[in-house]
Amino acid sequence: MTEESIPDTRKALRIRARVKSKKPAFVRPESWRYMRLKENWRRPRGLDHKIRRKIKGWPASVNTGYRGPKIARGLHPSGYREVLVFNVEDLTEIDPKTQAIRIAHTVGKRNRTKIITEARKKEILILNLKEARKAAEEEKKRAKAKEKEEGAETEETTEEEEAETEKPATKQEKTKRRKGRTKE
């Protein structure tokens, strides 16, 4: 965002929010009447259709008057343009003043952390940073759990090694130990 356009975009975002708050929820005509019809908007085309004819008492129809300001269209509420990022190379094309990144959900944890560190170096805003942090925390928990399991496995192996070193000398002692009978 250039210094001149920042107040314009902020004003446009406020106007867009006001227009959006007054905009009705446009649902498919008669979707409230029939369960088989979804609420997705469909334009009424019938000759006698009440919504097409804008009859009083029927819901409003979609028209361009509900549109937001041209400057604000496609902007994130923060005022930046959203750019979807898949790898570190995508960050080279981003302007930190006007654009913010959203890391794609298909990006793995290793590449996600690389993207985050590179974006912080270039001072680029990350829109889904909270989700990225959650993924990083889960990865740390898994790593700790693996370390604990490996530590437990090493303790078990040392116990097995100690048992092997205390082998009975004679055949009789082996059978006694197996059966659980000792004469002592």
Spell out the alpha helix ranges (H) of 23-108: none
On whether residue 152 sits in a domain, the answer given is no
Expressed as residue numbers, the domain containing 124 is: 76-143
Q: Kindly list the distances between the CA atom of residue 51 and the CA atoms of 30, 59, 171, in Å, as whole numbers in the listed order.
A: 10, 7, 97
On whether residue 64 sits in a domain, the answer given is no
Does the reported pTM lie above 0.85?
no
The torsion angles phi and psi of 61, rounded to 5 degrees, stand at -100, 160
On whether residue 23 sits in a domain, the answer given is no
| Tens-place pLDDT, residues 73-88 | 889 998 999 999 999 9
| Tens-place pLDDT, residues 26-78 | 999 999 999 999 999 999 999 999 999 999 999 999 999 899 899 888 899 98
On whether residue 96 sits in a domain, the answer given is yes
Tell me the percentage of the chain whose pLDDT exceeds 70: 78
What DSSP designation does 104 have? -
Task: Compute the distance between CA of residue 77 and CA of residue 157 in angstroms, rounded to an integer.
Answer: 57
On whether residue 133 sits in a domain, the answer given is yes
Q: Are 126 and 144 in contact (CB under 8 A)?
A: no
| Tens-place pLDDT, residues 155-172 | 666 665 655 556 555 666
On whether residue 149 sits in a domain, the answer given is no
* Domains of the chain: total: 1
Please, which pLDDT band fits residue 174 given cuts at 50, 70 and 90?
low
On whether residue 127 sits in a domain, the answer given is yes
On whether residue 136 sits in a domain, the answer given is yes
